A and B are shown apart, each in its own frame.
Chain A
Amino acid sequence: MNNKKHVFAEDSFFISRRKFMAIGAAFIAVMAIPVGWFASKVAKRNDYIKARSAGLYKDDAIAKLRVSHANPAVEKYYKEFGGQPLGHMSHDLLHTHFVDRTKLNS
């Protein structure tokens, strides 16, 4: 009886070729990052920021009303419910207090 099984197994000490390639690519990527990566990333990011901001400024330009104090819904809110800016109701509902988190830290 021959109990010895001959199954193909990768030697656990060595990594597979596929894995080697992956690690190699990651290594190259990591090495490449400091050189020029940050600048090109920021440039590309800024393109996105500009495009999205332009979308918002367009929304402003096409708006029927362009100043907050002219919003009829806001006017209605204060008239029917909220009273006036900085009033009693505003103090309770629309303002808050902050937390000194360095005290939480000690």
Chain B
Amino acid sequence: MTVTTYQPGEIQGLIEIQASKCKGCDACQKFCPTNAIEGASGAVHSINKEKCLSCGQCLINCPFGAIIETHSALETVIAKLADKDVKVVGIIAPAVRVAIGEEFGLGTGELVTGKLYGAMNKAGFKIFDCNFAADLTIMEEGSEFIHRLHANVKGEADAGALPQFTSCCPGWVRYLETNYPSLLPNLSTAKSPQQMAGTVAKTYGAKVYAMQPENIFTVAVMPCTSKKVEASRPEFNSAWKYNQEQGANVAEYRDVDAVLTTREMAQLLKLLEIDLAKTPEYEGDSLFSEYTGAGTIFGATGGVMEAALRTAHKVLTGDEMAKLEFEPVRGLAGVKAASVTLFDQSLSQDVTVNVAVVHDMGNNVEPILRDIMAGISPYHFIEVMNCAGGCVNGGGQPIDGNGSSWIGNI
């Protein structure tokens, strides 16, 4: 009997504590959402990989820099960039554009979309903004929510489960899969923006780029370490399956071939001697770099909910929201709840939607899940993100400025 919470082929043990550097200070344990870090105070700690979500919060908060990622695609990506027969598509997540500048001496939170496009273009990437895929996610996930809402209001027998959870955060998805599988029907079936981007790049994108899909190499640039595990999930080969059905006969490929964290992308640019801070701005090179404000706020806690409400309002009432900023879901409260009443045209009645936004999941989500299981949850739609603050504070973001490794190499 093998004890494992992983499917075959998935990356296991992505986050590791280096025994030689660990001082047993327990700091990492305070940031771990699943108590996956074992070892007594003062003794060298280790990570229980069955419980670990690979979120990397321990990594960015270790005062000794003792925690590392075991898998890096950096060399593979550099080799692919040099290969003339391959088109390397860089999928840039929302939260990367407000953090990668820090690695090049720019200010904290400085928005560097144009410079990042320019630097990646110089390195040889085609630009595929993940924000485009975030817009796509809103279309799918928002439609799914409206579908479930209507079916529930009408009392249809096979109405989907409410509340509906967002499914963008791989740490959260794995948490639910490992701890509360009975709530999986509540999870939106929409893929995360990363996986949508990979699939679209190798199906519709292959037509746009006029390329064979097998010659497209997709590299997601993410603020998140857990995205590496997500990309390795065996079911994420939809583009290959689709193209096989269309008559292709080639070896299996992944929707997302490689994932680089924000830190690794900065490292790649430095290796190629591209200084992002000095790179001229660049507009992008295809329709996949077109995105909206709704897509970009995905990187902050509450962003998915705000983006979804903007679209749901339009779909349900027929009108755009008068004020697009939806303040109740912004900010750093652990659980943010709001109620929205709007006139639903297709039902010809007022509908009140209760939404909740949860981040810093390890500290905040459990009471909400218990209420749902007890059948007393007031919510219809819940956004959950594992990391405090959302992806902007993901485990793949720049560390130094974040105050980690403050004791250095003693």
Which of A47, A58, A82, A95 has the most chain B CB atoms closer than 10 A to its own CB?
A: A95
For A98, the chain B residues whose CB sits under 8 A away are 173, 176-177, 184, 187, 189
Assess whether B199 is in contact with A93, with CB atoms less than 8 Å apart: yes
For B297, the chain A residues whose CB sits under 8 A away are 56-57, 59-60
Assess whether A33 is in contact with B410, with CB atoms less than 8 Å apart: no
Assess whether B27 is in contact with A66, with CB atoms less than 8 Å apart: no
Contact bitstring B258-274, A, C-beta under 8 A = 1, else 0: 00000000000000000
A63 within 8 A of B: yes
A54 within 8 A of B: yes
Contact bitstring A67-105, B, C-beta under 8 A = 1, else 0: 111111110111011100110001011111111111111
A60 to chain B, nearest CB (A): 3
Assess whether B200 is in contact with A93, with CB atoms less than 8 Å apart: yes
For B235, the chain A residues whose CB sits under 8 A away are 96-97
For B184, the chain A residues whose CB sits under 8 A away are 98, 100
For A101, the chain B residues whose CB sits under 8 A away are 5-6, 174, 177-178, 181
Quick one: given A33-B25, A71-B132, are A100 and B288 in contact (CB under 8 Å)? Answer: no
- The total of chain B residues at the interface (CB under 8 A) is 96
Assess whether A55 is in contact with B195, with CB atoms less than 8 Å apart: no
Taking chain B's interface residues, is the majority helix, strand, or loop, or is none over half, making it mixed?
A: helix
A29 within 8 A of B: yes
A6 within 8 A of B: no
B254 within 8 A of A: no
Assess whether A67 is in contact with B320, with CB atoms less than 8 Å apart: yes
Contact of A60 among B179, B181, B287, B293 (CB under 8 A): B293
Least CB separation from B107: chain A residue = A51
Taking chain A's interface residues, is the majority helix, strand, or loop, or is none over half, making it mixed?
A: helix
Quick one: given A53-B300, A96-B195, are A86 and B236 in contact (CB under 8 Å)? Answer: no
A50 within 8 A of B: yes
Near B by CB (< 8 A), chain A positions 30-63 give: 30, 33-34, 37-38, 41, 44-61, 63
Least CB separation from B8: chain A residue = A104
Contact of A86 among B6, B24, B140, B181 (CB under 8 A): B140
A-B contact count (CB 8 A): 247
Interface residues on A, range: 35 or more
For A26, the chain B residues whose CB sits under 8 A away are 23, 407, 410
Assess whether A95 is in contact with B7, with CB atoms less than 8 Å apart: no
For A85, the chain B residues whose CB sits under 8 A away are 139-140, 142-143
B310 within 8 A of A: yes
Assess whether A52 is in contact with B199, with CB atoms less than 8 Å apart: no
B138 within 8 A of A: yes
B292 within 8 A of A: yes
Assess whether A72 is in contact with B310, with CB atoms less than 8 Å apart: no
Assess whether A55 is in contact with B23, with CB atoms less than 8 Å apart: no
Contact of B287 among A41, A48, A73 (CB under 8 A): A73
> What is A's interface to B at a CB cutoff of 8 Å?
22, 25-26, 29-30, 33-34, 37-38, 41, 44-61, 63, 65-74, 76-78, 80-82, 85-86, 90, 92-106
28 CB < 8 A contacts A-B: A37-B27, A41-B61, A45-B61, A47-B108, A49-B392, A51-B98, A52-B98, A52-B99, A52-B299, A55-B97, A55-B98, A56-B296, A56-B392, A58-B111, A61-B293, A63-B292, A66-B293, A67-B294, A74-B136, A76-B287, A82-B204, A85-B140, A85-B142, A85-B143, A92-B238, A94-B199, A99-B177, A102-B181
> What is B's interface to A at a CB cutoff of 8 Å?
1, 3-7, 23-27, 30, 42, 50, 61, 63, 94-95, 97-99, 107-111, 113, 132, 134-136, 138-140, 142-144, 147, 173-174, 176-179, 181, 184, 187, 189-191, 195-196, 199-200, 203-204, 207, 235-236, 238-239, 241-242, 287-288, 290-297, 299-301, 303, 307, 310-311, 314-315, 320, 324, 330, 332, 388-390, 392-393, 401-403, 407, 410
Q: Top 9 nearest A-B pairs by Cβ distance? A: A51-B109, A49-B389, A55-B98, A60-B293, A66-B293, A63-B293, A52-B392, A68-B138, A73-B290
